[in-house]
Structure 1
Amino acid sequence: MASPTPELINALRRTVQSLKNGAPYQWGHMGGCNCGNLAQELTKLTKDQIHQYAMQRHGDWNEQAEDYCSTSQMPIDLLINEMLNAGLMLEDLKHLERLDDRQILGRFPIEKRFLRHNVREDVMAYMNAWAELLEEQLLAKITLPALQDIEFA
């Protein structure tokens, strides 16, 4: 599971807002699919640039994650590296493309856990749930000094 970073949480929320506002969504387009829309927010590349980079190698996001090489200078690997630097793991890319991370799906009522990976509204719901989960994890890491430990002037 991704590291709960403010950058990733905000990117997930911006992606949802962008999709809600009518951003192009096409599951079969590497720059306009689930991962592609998040990649746009994390990298500031356009959907067409992302698609062009991905087409330099074979496969969908799952296969791109499988073939990822951190030392490669291929544009898609540099793009994925930027996404990993924001807190994502390679497995997150695979799960996002299929909307199938069990931890995220567990946040939905049982009858709503069967999300369709190529439906905009389901992608938005998944990303919202993911952002909420990451935010909870981030907040759980924050410890404040106890009031009795604070010296007042």
Structure 2
Amino acid sequence: MARPNLQLIEALRRTAHKLATGASYQWGHMGSCNCGNLAQELTQLTKAEIHQRALAVGRGDWHEQLNDYCPTSGLPMDLLIADMLAAGLSSEDLQQLERLSNRRILERLPLEKRYLRHNVRDDVVLYLGTWADWLEEQLLEKITLPRWEKTPVENSVSERDSVIA
């Protein structure tokens, strides 16, 4: 499960916005697919650099890359995945992003929108936006602001202002 944080939420929203406004999208391209577009935002690598790293390993799609991920290998693709995990994602999150299959995200969609297709740009945009909203809600639930008691001076000013009004 993704760890809610501002960096990740902003990256999800930037990715959704870029896709909605015409960024390169090609599901079969490791740098332009669902995970590839998010990887661009989290790592600042280009789609070509991401694709090149994936092909150098030769393990297949993102699902297979994540299954074979080794944090100590030093391989460029594993370093990229490590950066994405450090941003608050899990391997499962990325595998689900590739197929738009996280049940908890899908349940947040209206019934008629819950059957997303993993290689359709508009469905990816909807999934990413819904995911960002959900993570933001989780993050806000954890935030508590300090409550300050009014001092006698503040109380007397408030009372005076209410009399004047």
Q: TM-score, normalised to structure 2's length? A: 0.88
* Residues 40-60 of structure 1: CA deviation (Å, up to 9, x unaligned): 000000001000000122111
Match of 2:93 in 1: 92
User: How many residues are aligned here?
Assistant: 152
- Give the Å deviation of 1:20: 1.5
**One-letter code aligned to 1:66:** N
Unpaired stretches in structure 2, ≥5 consecutive residues: 154-165
- Give the Å deviation of 1:21: 1.8
- Looking at structure 1, the residues matched to 90 and 121 of structure 2 have their Cα atoms a distance apart, in angstroms, of 23
Identity in percent: 62
- Looking at structure 2, the residues matched to 48 and 36 of structure 1 have their Cα atoms a distance apart, in angstroms, of 10
Match of 1:102 in 2: 103
Match of 2:22 in 1: 22
3-state SS of 2:81 partner = helix
3-state SS of 2:56 partner = coil
**CA 1:109–1:79: 2 relative to 1, 3 Å:** same
Match of 1:63 in 2: 64
- Give the Å deviation of 1:151: 6.2
- Looking at structure 1, the residues matched to 104 and 151 of structure 2 have their Cα atoms a distance apart, in angstroms, of 41
Q: TM-score, normalised to structure 1's length? A: 0.95
* Residues 94-131 of structure 1: CA deviation (Å, up to 9, x unaligned): 00000000010010112210000000000000000000
- Give the Å deviation of 1:146: 2.8
Match of 1:4 in 2: 4
**CA 1:23–1:151: 2 relative to 1, 3 Å:** farther
Matched, 1:51 2:66: no
**CA 1:101–1:151: 2 relative to 1, 3 Å:** farther
* Residues 18-46 of structure 1: CA deviation (Å, up to 9, x unaligned): 11221100000000000000000000000
3-state SS of 1:56 partner = helix
- Looking at structure 2, the residues matched to 88 and 152 of structure 1 have their Cα atoms a distance apart, in angstroms, of 48
Unpaired stretches in structure 1, ≥5 consecutive residues: none
Matched, 1:74 2:89: no
- Looking at structure 2, the residues matched to 27 and 151 of structure 1 have their Cα atoms a distance apart, in angstroms, of 60
- Looking at structure 2, the residues matched to 109 and 74 of structure 1 have their Cα atoms a distance apart, in angstroms, of 41
- Looking at structure 2, the residues matched to 60 and 128 of structure 1 have their Cα atoms a distance apart, in angstroms, of 23
Match of 1:135 in 2: 136
**CA 1:72–1:112: 2 relative to 1, 3 Å:** same
CA RMSD of aligned residues (A): 1.4
